[in-house]
Amino acid sequence: MPLIKPKLKTCSICQKPSILFQSKPATCYNCARKHFKPIQASKTTKPIQKVSDKQSKLLQEYYRLREQYLRQHPICQAKVKCKGRIASDLHHQKGRGKYLCDTTFFLSTCRECHDWITEYSKEAIELGLSVSRLQP
């Protein structure tokens, strides 16, 4: 099988006959290396923070308040599913949002009672363990 010889064309920069790149203007390999800058990789970007600086400070304050509240109230205050276990969770009666650090809406609970309050929110509101978020 005969080999196919490529057609030589003149380089638009050095005017020598050679195999040209498909670039504009069409140039040989040597001229392309000299005259065209290689495409640079994009700058490394800083990854997006999982928690903003403002939220991080707020969470530090919350964890401090949480530990302090659980030390002051070591027994489950809900007593829906238990008879007074040691409290391990902190229930936010009015939700976490803007009331994250508001201790007036804290309720120390055991895990079992906290799960019940979360699952049966309507009954928890009736018992006074939660406050409806729809009412101001």
Return the residue matching tokens 């978020």.
133
DSSP 1-45: -PPPPPPPEE-TTT--EEPPPSSSS---HHHHHHHSPPPPPPPPP
Mean pLDDT per 10-residue interval, the chain, length 136 residues: 74 82 76 72 81 94 96 94 91 91 94 94 93 78
pLDDT at 39: 65
pLDDT at 133: 78
Residue 96 gets the label, from left (phi > 0), alpha (psi -120 to 50) or beta, of alpha
Q: How many residues does the chain have?
A: 136
pLDDT at 37: 67
Phi, psi values for residue 86, rounded to 5°: -70, 135
